[in-house]
Chain A
Amino acid sequence: SQKIEQNSEALNIQEGKTATLTCNYTNYSPAYLQWYRQDPGRGPVFLLLIRENEKEKRKERLKVTFDTTLKQSLFHITASQPADSATYLCALYNQGGKLIFGQGTELSVKP
């Protein structure tokens, strides 16, 4: 079955630095992969979708890469701000057509 793994340890960085989060998946080659942000006590908010034929995608301070050979996606937040502190979830549709999520990486940006 498909598995998604994200850094389980919280990531603590200083304001202004670039945060890099990792998502690895196994046993399946998805056509696209998605990243969501989740704040405590709230539902996930869609951020970016990247397709298998796209190496990189950007949206404002966010950048996502997708390496289908390594089966890995990297999520970058440049010039990070305390307001970026949240849990970031990687998700993909499995072969059964269901959206499955990684366990999320908690990011904390200190001023």
Chain B
Amino acid sequence: QTVVTQEPSFSVSPGGTVTLTCGLSSGSVSPSYYPSWYQHTPGQAPRTLIYTTNTRSSGVPDRFSASILGNKAALTITGAQADDESDYYCVLYMGGGIYVFGTGTKVTVL
């Protein structure tokens, strides 16, 4: 089964920039996987940040941006704020109506 891999954790200073990545256990991520990104704070429902590679969801600050970097999808937080401390998940469309969530990245702002 395909595994979608993310860094387990990242630490970023307030005001700093961090780039999270989303890769495949075999193969390269491309726009045809329609990568999306979610922010999930414990106790709350996940929130869409980005869908179809780089479309920012309504209400999402422009400090969140996404792209394809090399063979992975990437989410960049520019000017990190304290309330960006959360878990971040990518989701890839595998075809046939099937989605796979990434392993998730815990971002700490300190």
Question: Does A pair with B?
Answer: no
